Amino acid sequence: LREDTAVVIVGAGPAGLLLANRLIQEGVDCVVLERHTRAAVEARARAGVLEHRSAELLARHGLADGMHAAAAKHGTCEFRRDGTRFTVPYGELAGGVAHWVYPQQFLVRDLIASFLEAGGDLRFAAEVGELAEVATERPSVTYRQAGEDRQRTLRARLVAGCDGPKGVCARQVPAGARRVYERQHEWGWLTVLAAAPPSTEHPIYALHRRGFAGHMLRTATVSRYYLQCVPGDPPENWPAERIWSELDARLAVDEPWSLTRGELLETRTLEMRSVVSVPMQHGSLYLAGDAAHVITPVGAKGANLALADADVLATAMTRYLRDGDRAALDAYSDTRLPAIWRAQAFSRWLMELVHAPADGDGFAAQLQRARMDELRTNPSLAAWFAGQYVGA
Ligand code: FAD
Ligand code: PHB
């Protein structure tokens, strides 16, 4: 195994894998280190919605074949409240574009396959322990391959920290050199994946006194549901019968409609937290995706931001390593942060729109009704929502 490369990429999620594919296409040598096995990362169900611009980005680099073959295109979402419902044709409002419903693990599988086919060096079951000399131009990364006693070290010119929200890379930036903006949102979420066909043609956001309920799409046989719960409420409090009856109650409409049940595949509670770490770079280390910023699933932006970061980083790293031009690398954080904050702003706006406020039917709930009415009746607001939501 080589011990020297141009770029070490830590983490084989959407960010690390897009970066790896783009670098190998540009002829830039890189090695990807991923702590889990290939089977584990290809089975990890998370996001499911790719924005229009992410789909374009994948297509531009020849990485969209799997998505084009299997994904469903969506341009409408539905809001429910008090037995009523309305839809927003956001694809049309945004100029005839769409979301692509494509489970994240399928995208990860495609990106792994294309990188390996191109001759890429991707080491699974390789857990990075520490980074050294990231402030210099000769950083190194130490990792342990499963089943081996000794640690290995890879030297590089640049390191890409694409190791997700709990990774080791972000910690390498000295506390004095970065500012971490953080918000713990006031709601909790129970996330549910079930072997049930969708009971809807488009994603549903339902607002209910007892809390938000979401019915999101995955495949013809698997659906994703979300239930607002008390922050920290453990999944053990949510046996199958409670989940389905709560979804029935919160999604109910005053017309014939029923929710198709199925076997629960996964039930988890999610911490609703947002983090943005500024800057997203330090010396030779560049952070991308969840390693640099975390966003709640509301609005479905996380994987899309990860792909966009990696795309900008790939161009910047290539310019530096091939032509010696550092300008785009130096500007990386400043280039990406405005879009990251806009996504955070949109996600928080949508969260406030659909979650039951803590004051029952008090002042906040009345504001929320007014906002929902505005979205339903004001074409300018619907058009703004559409552009933000679909990522046109
Ligand atoms: P990750 O996908 O987390 O990848 C990081 C990789 O680094 C992992 O494979 C990890 O194993 C590896 N790693 C970590 N530490 C080490 C180490 N020390 N050494 C080696 N490897 C390491 N986003 C959307 O856009 N749309 C959605 O609909 C959506 N829904 C979501 C629903 C849920 C329930 C959740 C939890 C998230 C959702 N997201 C959604 C967010 C999205 O999944 C993430 O934003 C996305 O995975 C970020 O990609 P990433 O490559 O930055 O990080
Ligand atoms: C999802 O598909 O998981 C999803 C979609 C839209 C959201 C949140 C989550 O706003």
Predicted confidence (pLDDT) per residue in 189-236, tens digit: 999 999 999 999 999 999 999 999 999 999 999 999 999 999 999 999
User: Which tens digit of pLDDT belongs to each residue from 286-333?
Assistant: 999 999 999 999 999 999 999 999 999 999 999 999 999 999 999 999
CA 381 remoteness from chain centre: 25
**What is the C-alpha end-to-end distance of the chain, expressed in Å?**
43
Per the DSSP assignment, residues forming a β-bridge with 121 are 31
Q: Which residue has the tokens 């500007």?
A: 331
| Ligand 2 centre distance from Cα of residue 131 (Å) | 34
Q: Given this model, what pLDDT does residue 375 score?
A: 97
pLDDT average, residue stretch 360-384: 93
Q: Given this model, what pLDDT does residue 347 score?
A: 97
297 labelled catalytic: yes
Is 47's pLDDT higher than 90?
no
Taking the CA of 44 as reference, the closest ligand is: 1
Is the beta carbon of 288 within 6 A of some atom in ligand 2? no
d(CA 271, CA 260): 27
Q: Which of 74, 215, 282, 355 is catalytic?
A: 74
User: Which tens digit of pLDDT belongs to each residue from 127-150?
Assistant: 999 999 999 999 999 999 999 999
Taking the CA of 388 as reference, the closest ligand is: 2
Predicted model pTM: 0.96
| Ligand 2 centre distance from Cα of residue 185 (Å) | 17
Ligand 1 residue neighbourhood (C-beta within 6 Å)? 10-16, 33-36, 41, 46-49, 104, 127-128, 162-164, 167-168, 191, 270, 289-291, 297, 300-304, 306
Taking the CA of 13 as reference, the closest ligand is: 1
Which residues neighbour 265 within 8 Å (Cβ) at sequence distance 6 or greater? 45, 193, 194, 195, 222
Query: Hey, how many other C-beta atoms are within 10 angstroms of the C-beta on 86?
Result: 13
Q: What is the mean pLDDT of the chain?
A: 96
Which residues neighbour 203 within 8 Å (Cβ) at sequence distance 6 or greater? 49, 74, 77, 78, 214, 215, 216, 217
Which among 12, 281, 309, 294 is positioned nearest to 170, based on CA atoms?
A: 281
Amino acid at 142: T
Which among 98, 52, 54 is positioned nearest to 310, based on CA atoms?
A: 54
Q: Which of 99, 215, 293, 301 is catalytic?
A: 301
Is the beta carbon of 103 within 6 A of some atom in ligand 2? no
Structure tokens at 130: 């520490």
- Atom from ligand 1 closest to the CA of residue 165: 3
205 labelled catalytic: yes
Q: Given this model, what pLDDT does residue 95 score?
A: 96
Q: Given this model, what pLDDT does residue 331 score?
A: 98
- 3-class secondary structure for 125-168? CEEEEEEECCCCCCCEEEEEECCCCCCEEEECCEEEECCCCCCC
Residue 11 binned pLDDT confidence (cut-offs 50, 70, 90): very high
Is the beta carbon of 299 within 6 A of some atom in ligand 2? yes
Among protein residues, the one with the nearest Cα to ligand 1's atom 53 is: 164
CA 222 remoteness from chain centre: 19
| Ligand 1 centre distance from Cα of residue 309 (Å) | 13
Q: Given this model, what pLDDT does residue 26 score?
A: 98
Share of the chain above pLDDT 70, in %: 100
Q: Which of 90, 143, 226, 389 is catalytic?
A: 389
d(CA 189, CA 183): 15
Q: Given this model, what pLDDT does residue 300 score?
A: 95
Best of 163, 191, 192 for a ligand 1 pocket test (most atoms within 8 Å of beta carbon): 163
| Ligand 1 centre distance from Cα of residue 78 (Å) | 27
pLDDT average, residue stretch 29-42: 98
| Ligand 2 centre distance from Cα of residue 143 (Å) | 34
Residue 248 binned pLDDT confidence (cut-offs 50, 70, 90): very high
Q: Given this model, what pLDDT does residue 292 score?
A: 98
73 labelled catalytic: no
pLDDT average, residue stretch 384-389: 97
Q: Which of 14, 139, 198, 297 is catalytic?
A: 297
Residue 48 binned pLDDT confidence (cut-offs 50, 70, 90): confident
Q: Given this model, what pLDDT does residue 45 score?
A: 86
pLDDT average, residue stretch 100-111: 96
| Ligand 2 centre distance from Cα of residue 151 (Å) | 40
74 labelled catalytic: yes
Q: How far is CA 331 from CA 60, 200, 286, 337, in A?
A: 23, 43, 11, 10
Is 361's pLDDT higher than 90?
no
| Ligand 1 centre distance from Cα of residue 340 (Å) | 16
**Burial label, 241 (beta-carbon count in 10 A; 0-12, 13-18, 19+):** exposed
Is 355's pLDDT higher than 90?
yes
- Atom from ligand 2 closest to the CA of residue 217: 2
What are the percentages of helix, strand and coil residues in the chain, rounded to 5? 40, 25, 35
